[in-house]
Every structure is written in C-alpha cells, then in structure tokens.
Chains A and B, each alone.
Chain A
Amino acid sequence: MHQWWHRWFRTPKELRAMGVVGINMRNARFLLPNNPRKLYQRVDNKLCTKALAEERGLQIPKTYLVVKSPHDVRLIEKQLAEYDSFVMKPARGSGGKGVLVIDHRDGDVYVKPSGVRLSGEELRHHADNILAGLYSLGGNRDQALIEYRVTPAMVRTVISFQGAPDIRIVMLHGYPVMAMLRAATKESDGRANLHQGAIGIGIDLATGRSVRAVHHGNMVSIHPDLKSPLIGLQMPFWDQIMELAVSCHEMTELGYLGVDLMIDEKIGPLMIEVNARPGLAIQMANGVGLMNRLEPVVSRHMSHPNESRSERIAFSQKMFSAKNESVPAP
C-alpha cells in the first residue's frame, strides 16, 4: 500500500516488516559476533587474500607486479612493458578507492577505459600516492598491486558502460545469502558503486538470472546509457561462481562477508576481493530485506553446524530462489 510519506521516508515498522537490515543491525548482529578482529588482516590486505587463494587453487587475476618502495616505482614502466592492459590498486584499499584501470597503450601513453590518457609520470605518481597510504584504511603506508585486467565476458559488456561489471555475493556462515551484479553507467564513470550512480542488478541465487535492477533506488529494466535490457540475463558459470564464493568463506573463516567476482571471457570467474564489511545496497537491488535470508541461515547453521560445501549451496538455492520467494520479474 502506498502512503504519502513514502516519498520521503519509510517508518521503522515498515522497514522491519520487510526485513531491511540497517548499518547498526548489520554491525551488532552479524559483523561483530562472526568476524573476529584477527581475521580482518586476511581480507584487508589483498596480497594476503591472493596468497591464501593461490594456496587453495582459486581462480584469481594474475599478479604482474607488487610495488613496495619508491625505488620500485621508478621501475614500473620497464617491468610493465610487456603488458598492454592492467589494473593498479592499493593492497589495503577499500570501496574501490585508488583503483586505476589501463585499457590499452597508445605509444608511451596509457589509456583508461573512459579514454582519459595518462603519461608515465602520472602513472608513477598514482603509485606513489598508493604507497603513501592515501587510499588505504587508516592512512598507513601501503603497497601497490598491479594485476591482470579482466576482459569481461560478452553477455556482461552489453550491460556495463566503460568498466567491467562485478558480481557481489553476500554470505553468512558459508551460505550464500544474496547476489547482485553491479554495472557501471556514464554517470558512475566506470565505477561500480551504487551511490555513485552504478546500477545494482539483483540475481536469483538458484538460477543465476537477473531478476531486478535498481538505479538510484528506482527500479529500471533497461540500461540508461546502453539501452540494453537488464532483466532475465543469465550469468555464465553460475555453479562455479557459487563454489568460488563458498571457498572464499572457507579460506577466510569470516562468518559474514561479501565476495567480489568478475567473469573473464577466457578464464571464467575470478575472485577479485573479499569484503569483511559488505554494504546494504544489495537489498535494494534484490528487493528483499536481508533479514529474511539471514535468519533462516542462522537457524540452519545452529541445527546443521557442519554442512558440506554442496549442501550449503543446495540449501541457499532452494530456500532463496526467486521462484520460492515469488518475486515477480517486472
């Protein structure tokens, strides 16, 4: 039922009825009890996450170079000579801060996906900024990571404007809880943050099909820039993606986490990063309150503490399929 105040706000009672989880609730009930402080190190430092992932044989983007000191910065260009495209990011960055994507080269010039051209000096300056901790948690000194740039699989280039879309899967106790695809728009400038104008596309856990899309909190069905349809798209390699996500839980031992993945044209799904404090926008994209899914997982975890990987995936796909929750595609 539509009320006059819905234009401005929802009452706490309405939100609670829909199972919407707020920041305070997420922190107090899911983050703090399930994510012990000492485990954060594993995900806050991407070098550490990648090392762990390699041990377990998970698919990750290949690391080209780790820049550890100002001395290394001077050698960047020489060492990157053989690569045409790459991504530079801070090892301890958060929220996509400081991520620089180079799409291709044009002589000595590095070209970003948006067409912005960077000189070698500007590239090195960006690395210096990363080392100084400008983009890092707590502003401490950091290291810069230069790695393989994912070539997005075909199906997904048609829904993201200049920038690889990524898939976010939120999990509790190793059960996938909700999934979303984040597609960049012209407005978001190649970035995948929803509050900067990226599109959030809810994905059905059971089938890997997109069911719903949200732009600035409003439902949409076609991409505002590309005019391509956003609903009913099938994510490729969905079963692999589920497996990968659950492996990330086993690897980090974090109870509540978000896994970010990208799908490469040739290699398939790659784990990009693990987030110990995943945001709440995923609820908007799916049109489902997180609480509706977290609570069944909590009770399942209590009653069946040691389920296997496939059992967990099966539980989530059965319980949280779009059909089951009867969310009609608009």
Chain B
Amino acid sequence: MSSKTRLLITVCFLCSVGMGIAIYKNRKLGVPLWVGEQNTSWLVEARVSFLSSEQKPVTVKLALPQVAIDEGIGQNAGSIGFGYSTDIGTSGAKEVWSARQPNAGNNALYYRIRFPERYKTGGANEEVKGNPPVAESPGLTGSVERAARAIIEQSRAVSSDDDTFFTHLFLQISRENRSQELLLLRRHYEIEEKIDEQQLLIVMGIDLLRMAGIPARLAHGVKLDPEAGTQAALPLIEYSDGVSWKVKNPAQPNVTLRSDNIFVWNRGGNALLEVFGADNSKVVFTVTKDMISLEKMDQLRDSPLFVSTILALPLSERSVFRYVVLIPLGAFVVVVLRNIIGVPTLGTFMPVLLALAFLEMPLGLGILMFVVIVAAGLFFRFFLSSMNLLVVPRVAACVVIVTLLMVLMSLVSWRLGMRDVLKITLFPMIIIAWTIERMSLIWEEEGKRNAIMQVGGSMLVAVIAFLFMKIPQIQYWAQYFPELLLVVLSIILLIGRYTGYRLSELHRFRNFSES
C-alpha cells in the first residue's frame, strides 16, 4: 500500500468518524450545529469542600437559591458516598448531604443550577410577610456608639428615604479619606473580629443600618462572569424599608442589581454553608455560559456520546478546556499560513501562544504591548551584547528586564485607569525572551529587514489565528463538537502532503525566466 493511499484512507476514516459523531449529535440528540439557534444559559456550580475524618458522621447544609426551588429551574446535585436531599424549611431551601462514614481526607460536593440568560437575578424586592421586621440594636456603647451615631447623622442629612440612606451610608464608609469617627469605628471592628476589608464593610454596614432603625441582614450572590474562574460567594446586603426586602451590592451601593452580572444565591439571613463533623469547609462557585438549551442538555447527558463533549467535566475544569480546544485550531492556522501561504515566522508555534494571550485582551492593546515589549527587550539585548555575556545568562537577564518592564507598564497604566494592561501577565514571557534573542541574532546576521519581517510575520500569524479563534461559531464547535477536531486533523494531514507552490513562491520566482 503506497503512502498516498494510506493517507487517503486515514483521512477518510477520521473525517467520517468526526462528522458522523457530529451529525448524530445534531440529528438524534438535537444539539444545534449553529451558534445562536438557542438562547444561551448560565450554569452556576457550587463546590463544597471539607476535610473529614473516617469515624465522624458528616452533615453538610448548603443554602439554595429560592428561585431554583420555586420555579424548578434545572438543578442537580452530585456527590460520591453521600446521601442528599433537598430540605425546604421555613427559613428557605437547603441541600442536605449526609454520610455516616465518609472517606477520610478531602471531600467535594457539587450542586449545579442552570437558568437562561437574562433571567431574574433572584434579588427582586420581596414583600415582607407577617409582622414588619424589627431592627435589632447592634449593642455598641460609649465613644464607639457616639461615632456610629455621627456617621448615621451625616448620611441621613443627605438622604431622603431608606434607599438613598443606604447608598450614602456605603459611599461614606467606603470612602478613601476617612473621618475621625469612621476611623474610631473601624478600629473597633478590626479589634473585635479578624476580617478583611470587604467583610469589615459588610459587618459594619449592617450594624449601622440596624442602628439607624433599618432591618438588615447578609445575603450571598455569585458574579456571572465566566472569566472569573472559581470565585468565593459575593457578600450582599438585604435590607427592609418596612414594605419589602431589597438586595444591594455594598461595593456598588448606587447600582441596582442586574440580571446579566449578578445572581443572588442566598437571601433571608440564613447561613450559606453549615458543616457538622468536618473541618476546613468552604464553598466556591464557578460560572460558565452554555449555548445548549436545558432539555437538549438532559438528552445529551443520557447518551453515551456525552463523553465526547467536555460538558461532562466539572465546571472548573471545563473553563480550562475552553482554551485547550482552541490550541489545535491555532496550530491549523499556522500550518495553512506557513505551508500554503509561506509567511515567515520566528519559532513555529510561538504565534499560537501569542494568539491565546490576545484572546484575553483587546486586540489593539495586545499588539501594542507586544511591540513595546519586543522593542524594549531588543534595545536592552543590544545593550547586554556589548557586555559579552554567555547566552543563557543573557536570555535570563532579558527575562528579568522584560518582567520589570511589564510591572512598570502595569503600574503606569493602572494610574492612567487602563485596567486591561494588567492582562499583560498572560504573555508567554520566556518565549518572548527567546524571540527577542533570536530576533537580535537575525538582526545582526541577516539585517534588520529580515528580523522585522520575521517578527512581523509571527505577529500577522498570531493576529490571524486570534481572529480565527475568536469567531463564536468556531468556539462553539470546538466546545460542543470537539470530534470535529478529527476533521481539522485530517485537513492538516492533507496539507502535509501538499506539494504545490506556496503563495509567497509565486512572488519569489516572479522574475524567473528561462532565457
């Protein structure tokens, strides 16, 4: 069998397996082929982890979002070796996991809910049932109490009702330049409890609200930000104006909660997590966007082909895969640009890493930062070369200098209010340092024209790979139809046997004449 037939058979096999699975998923399971055919939905996963010993029985209670129970929006719990049930009590719903003899060591329990995009936040005003709530006094005394009173008076003077009072109170206590009273009050809380700035504001704020006669309690939310990775619960404050309970984010007291960035997980003043019989318990949340509708998802889950989607993974792992599945596509772009177009690049797959970094920041800024880093690195490289250093120390020195430069750029741009520049840390530094080293060599050996051409070529390839990986349809396929990567693989194999001219050669040989 010649190598050509072997290649063709392999390509046919790969294509038919890849496309076959994709078509099956589309036809039988109803996973849409095109992005945007379905409304997207949010998937929020709570992960409870704790350390248990073998002898002790463990009970874990996690407060659940009330809306999930009321409206039955998709939810499911997962655990190994634990029994679980949903307990709907007077003070809200709880998921209860229990085990008499859990595995010793670290344990993790999962609870997921899924709801469509633009759903309610779960933080809508809730009517007060029964007797109006009464604000308990926090029991401050002496000078601390006087200071608290003064702060309340200041906020009350510039507000007209409970809502505006809330806004002004939190603006006042989170201000940078602190008044005498605020400093005194803060010191009281700092001594009482060892807590960080965010918690301090919450605890202090709730006490001040209660002192002002406004019933207030702690609530918890989740930021609907798929980029955030795993996040701790976002503390929110629930307060009552006598008619209804309202939820606000004390970090942004003047903004009403929006359904596209915050989901209120737990309200009603209950503890978010209670664990009996184990240590070191904590709950973290992961958020992702799903582009498949809920019913389709359930069908898919029962199919053996569920394995072929990364949807089977826990959310925290899935957000890693979001980029992993894009890497082969970047490699594909490199193959096309190098072997068919003939763009010169520095380092074969360096552009893919660069493109992945670009995905995290605005493109123009990414290019600008890359150019600045490379230009500055090159400048220092020429400076270093006058000292006749050995190669590895020289590249290492370049890494240090470029890193310092990054720190400097971040600081300056932070001052200027450009937060995106902080993403500069995503650049593959070591690879950029080697790029600088090789570029300076080419600069010396073959002239600056070649050096700039090759770096420019790398950047062009990176930008094209970035634009390709940025297409929502491509991202969708990579995530929901990873088997299509087999088709990409077979195209790459075919390009591997392409013996025609590269586009750049048509230009290179333009003057070719036989006589």
Contacts and interface: CB of A to CB of B under 8 A. Distances in A.
Among the interface residues B441, B502, B507, B512, which one has the most CB atoms of the partner chain A within 10 A? B512
A284 B511 contact: yes
Interface string A57-86: 000000000000000000000000000000
B414 interface: no
Interface in A2-42: 6-12, 15, 18, 20, 22-25, 28-29
Given A10-B509, A288-B514, A24 B390 contact: no
A283 B512 contact: yes
B323 to A, nearest CB: 27
Contacts of A305: none
B515 A24 contact: no
A20 to B, nearest CB: 5
Contact of A24 (B391, B450, B499, B508): B499
A12 B392 CA distance: 45
A327 interface: yes
Given A97-B445, A218-B511, A327-B514, A134 B391 contact: yes
Which of the four size classes fits the interface of chain A? 35 or more
B511 A24 contact: no
Contacts of B34: none
Given A122-B388, A132-B390, A22 B500 contact: yes
Contacts of B510: 6-10, 217
B309 interface: no
Interface in A106-162: 121-122, 125, 128-129, 132-135
B131 to A, nearest CB: 78
B339 interface: yes
Interface SS, B side? loop
Given A20-B509, A20-B512, A287-B515, A15 B392 contact: no
Which of the four size classes fits the interface of chain B? 20 to 34
A283 to B, nearest CB: 7
Contacts of B391: 128-129, 132-134
Contacts, number: 91
Contact of B507 (A8, A12, A24): A8
B506 A23 contact: no
Given A22-B501, A24-B339, A24-B502, A196 B511 contact: no
A195 B442 CA distance: 13
B513 interface: yes
Nearest to B434: A139
A193 B512 CA distance: 18
Contacts of A29: 499
B499 A327 contact: no
Interface in A176-207: 193, 195-196
Contacts of B515: 287, 327-328
A24 B498 contact: yes
Contacts of A217: 508, 510-511
A289 B499 CA distance: 15
Contacts of B511: 6, 217-218, 284
Contact of A11 (B441, B446, B499, B506): B506
Nearest to A99: B445
Contacts of B6: none
Among the interface residues B447, B498, B511, which one has the most CB atoms of the partner chain A within 10 A? B511
Contact of A12 (B342, B500, B513): B500
Interface of B: 339, 342, 388, 390-392, 441, 445-447, 450, 497-502, 505-515
9 closest A-B pairs by CB? A132-B391, A125-B388, A22-B501, A9-B506, A217-B511, A25-B499, A28-B499, A22-B505, A9-B507
